[in-house]
Amino acid sequence: MIGRTFNPASYAISHLRHGLFRSLTTVATLSITLAFAILTSSMLLGVTQRIDEDEGLLRGNIPGSIDMFSEFNIDPELSEEARSALLHWMFLTTALVLIVAFFIVYNTMAMSVEERRAEIGVLRAIGFSTAEVLRIFLIEGGMIGIISWTVALFLGMPFIVNLAAYLISKGDGGLFFVQPVIDLPLAALSLAVSVGLCLISTYLASIRRIRKPPVDTMRPAV
């Protein structure tokens, strides 16, 4: 009866609201990290195509008509050796950024699970299964992933690109705003990666504690 009336999504939302400061901190940190990952991914995919001002997945010029790829001295006709080296560097950068994002979510959820030991024990003691309790944390992790991806795409990416543009132009162009355009396939892929990364890290951070017997879970930490 408990399982039928219990709404894990509402429960997860209420906990995110209860720990609002931690939730906002996690979303802000993860959003910037994901924005870097999306940016490097868009440049990575752009390098695999012909690079010019009108093509590529990262569109929009820096103030003063300075193309971002041109500013970094990336020639539209890259040699195979140069292209290979650039691709390897971007692959490595993207991988490192995603690893950082993984540990951000993992550490956040691990602390949350540890703080909610008694709560988890009570839920298990009144009849909730491991899967039902785990679903609460997975929904929380998934929500963090979706919110962080949204902030990264619409705020984080423009912030990083405009900050880079300002530093490159040294502010000579005055106030400006460059809106990077990400193609739909890359946006969908980045969403899947963001949510998947959050779900995996949440699962690994919580499953061991949730599987413990309720008596052990409710026992105060020594």
Q: Which of 164, 222, 193 is nearest to 30 (CA)?
A: 193
Q: Which of 222, 40, 201 is nearest to 112 (CA)?
A: 201
CB 206 within 8 A of CB 132: no
Residue 102 burial (CB < 10 Å; 0-12/13-18/19+)?
middle
Question: What contacts 134, CB < 8 A, 6 or more positions away?
Answer: 203, 206, 207, 210
pLDDT at res. 77: 56
The CB density around residue 128, as the number of other CB atoms within 10 Å, is 21
pLDDT at res. 186: 80
What's the pLDDT tens digit per position in 87-134?
A: 788 788 888 988 999 999 999 888 888 888 888 888 888 888 889 899
Summary count for the chain: helices (H), strands (E) = 10, 0
This prediction has a pTM of: 0.78
Question: What contacts 201, CB < 8 A, 6 or more positions away?
Answer: 102, 103, 105, 106, 109, 141
CB 199 within 8 A of CB 138: yes
pLDDT at res. 128: 86
Low-confidence spans in the chain with pLDDT less than 50: 1-3, 48-68
CB 149 within 8 A of CB 194: yes
What's the pLDDT tens digit per position in 151-161?
A: 998 888 888 87
pLDDT at res. 221: 57
C-alpha to C-alpha distance for 109 and 115, rounded to whole angstroms = 10
CB 104 within 8 A of CB 196: no
pLDDT at res. 94: 84
Residue 12 burial (CB < 10 Å; 0-12/13-18/19+)?
buried
